[in-house]
Amino acid sequence: MERIKTLLARYSQTAFLFFMGLILIIYLALGTLYLQQAPQQRQLQDQITKLNMILRNPLPSVDALKAEYDAVNHKLAPMADSDAIAMLVSLAQKSGIDITEGSGKFQVPVASHSSTTVGGDSYQLLSFRGIYIQGDRDKVMAFISVLDSGTRLENMVLTSLTTDELEVVTTGEEAARREEFRSVIAAVATMMKDNALPGIPNPMSFSGRKASNHMGDDPDVPGFEGFPDITTTAADKGYTGNATPKNGYLLYQNDKISSDNTTLYTTVDYFPTLTTTYYYTAEKDGTVRQWSGPNAAVATEYPDSKPTKIEVRASVDVDIYFKPR
């Protein structure tokens, strides 16, 4: 009997240890399974969150979808050659290109017609090969930018572009302006050399914001007018005689003091007329600037004096896509 009790006590301990080991194994297995499922749970939660964000946005109505569909079809509706040419001419004009027939600076060739397939869909093509544009760089590039961006016609594609520069002789009013500018520049340089001036003593400079179109003293204007120097006195110019030569270093009717005998002077015209069409300022070193009016702070400055100007000319090809009807 005692032996049986001993065996039962031993087996009870073994059973307890076995039972505890079994529980530990189950616990570890469940823990491992939980750890493996955690990333999947996070991924599933992220998908649920994204789906909720999509579901929050209202779906477009049937009317909105139909309006968008109609708009696309309208843009792809066939266009007559004359309408396409009128559109190109309008874009060029808005970009500042001279579209007048006599200028020869904008020319649209006859359109060609063809068909193509894009993404399995068939399209008709209205093509213009070699549209010619010529003018100031900014204006030509503005026109090309409009064609390339598709802002005016989304189904129009710029397919080819070549550009170069050419020198153009100015004519008309622009030529006259440049000619006067060159004459004033040359007159100032000649006056400074003739009077042995390393610099203009009191120039009518841009810093004073006043420009003049009087190259000498105007007897009909009260006070003293003149360009480029209206304030240097005859004494400061070196005159020692008893007469009254005009003050200043002028381009018209300038009283030049003789370098050999400072009691003498002669009147010299470096510019042929008293007044000019445009207005001018001059810096101490003789740099001349040309303006549209007497107030240089608000007037337009004209930077060019050369008889020619550089223009850009371009040749472009464009295709306009249509859905066949």
pLDDT of 228-261, one tens digit each?
999 999 999 999 999 999 999 999 999 999 999 9
Is 124 inside a domain boundary? yes
Q: Are residues 315 and 166 in the same domain?
A: yes
pLDDT band at 41 (very low <50, low <70, confident <90, very high): low
Is 62 inside a domain boundary? no
Residue 319 near residue 157, CB atoms below 8 Å: yes
Give the residue carrying structure tokens 């779906």. Answer: 59
Question: CA-to-CA distance for 295 and 208, rounded, in angstroms?
Answer: 9
| Dihedral, 268, 270, 274, 277 alpha carbons, nearest 10 | 180
Q: Are residues 193 and 107 in the same domain?
A: no
Q: Are residues 166 and 202 in the same domain?
A: no
Instruction: Give the pLDDT confidence score for residue 143 in this predicted structure.
Output: 92
The parent domain of residue 195 ranges over: 173-306
From 43-52, 125-134, 143-152, 294-303, the region with the lowest mean pLDDT: 43-52
Q: Return the CATH number at 150.
A: 3.30.70.60
Q: Are residues 187 and 254 in the same domain?
A: yes
Residue 140 near residue 304, CB atoms below 8 Å: no
Greater pLDDT, 124 or 11: 124
| Dihedral, 182, 184, 189, 192 alpha carbons, nearest 10 | 180
Is 220 inside a domain boundary? yes
Give the residue carrying structure tokens 């989304």. Answer: 154
Is 137 inside a domain boundary? yes
Q: Are residues 293 and 179 in the same domain?
A: yes
Residue 8: pLDDT over 50: no
Greater pLDDT, 2 or 82: 82
Residue 197: pLDDT over 90: yes
Q: Are residues 89 and 165 in the same domain?
A: yes
Greater pLDDT, 145 or 62: 145
Q: How many helices (H) and strands (E) does the chain have?
A: 5, 13
The pLDDT tens digits of the residues spanning 53-112 come to: 655 666 556 555 555 544 545 566 788 899 889 999 999 999 999 999 888 999 999 999
Q: Which of 18-32, 35-49, 147-161 has the highest mean pLDDT?
A: 147-161
Q: Are residues 178 and 276 in the same domain?
A: yes
Q: Is the bond preceding 78 in cis, omega lying within 30 degrees of 0? A: no
Residue 133 near residue 313, CB atoms below 8 Å: yes
Is 295 inside a domain boundary? yes
Number of residues that this document lists for the chain: 325
Instruction: Give the pLDDT confidence score for residue 323 in this predicted structure.
Output: 79
Q: Are residues 228 and 261 in the same domain?
A: yes
- Which string of DSSP letters, residue by residue, matches 126-172? EEEEEEEEEE-HHHHHHHHHHHHHTSS-TTEEEEEEEEEEEEEE--H
Question: CA-to-CA distance for 237 and 243, rounded, in angstroms?
Answer: 14
Q: Are residues 159 and 190 in the same domain?
A: no
SS3 181: helix
The 10 Å Cβ neighbour count of residue 64 is 10
Q: Are residues 203 and 300 in the same domain?
A: yes
Is 52 inside a domain boundary? no
Residue 276: pLDDT over 60: yes
Q: Taking the chain, what is the end-to-end CA distance rounded to the nearest angstrom?
A: 109
Q: Are residues 285 and 202 in the same domain?
A: yes
Mean pLDDT, all residues of the chain: 84
The 10 Å Cβ neighbour count of residue 246 is 19
Average pLDDT, integer, range 206-217:
94
Q: Are residues 239 and 157 in the same domain?
A: no
Burial environment of residue 75 by CB neighbours within 10 A (0 to 12, 13 to 18, 19 or more): middle
pLDDT band at 39 (very low <50, low <70, confident <90, very high): low
Question: CA-to-CA distance for 81 and 100, rounded, in angstroms?
Answer: 20
Could you tell me which residues come within 8 angstroms of residue 126 by beta carbon, excluding any fewer than 6 positions away? 79, 81, 84, 111, 112, 113, 319, 320, 322
pLDDT band at 124 (very low <50, low <70, confident <90, very high): confident
Is the sign of the CA dihedral 96, 100, 101, 104 positive or negative? negative
Is 256 inside a domain boundary? yes
Average pLDDT, integer, range 7-33:
58
- Number of structural domains, the chain? 3
List, as own/partner pairs, every contact residues 214-220 make where C-beta atoms lie below 8 angstroms and the sequence separation is at least 24, other chains included.
214/274, 214/275, 215/184, 215/187, 215/250, 215/251, 215/252, 215/271, 215/273, 215/274, 215/275, 215/276, 216/250, 216/251, 216/252, 216/253, 216/254, 216/274, 217/246, 217/248, 217/250, 217/253, 218/274, 218/275
- pTM, two decimals, is 0.63
Is 4 inside a domain boundary? yes
C-alpha separations of 55 from 29, 48, 60 in Å: 38, 10, 12
The 10 Å Cβ neighbour count of residue 114 is 10
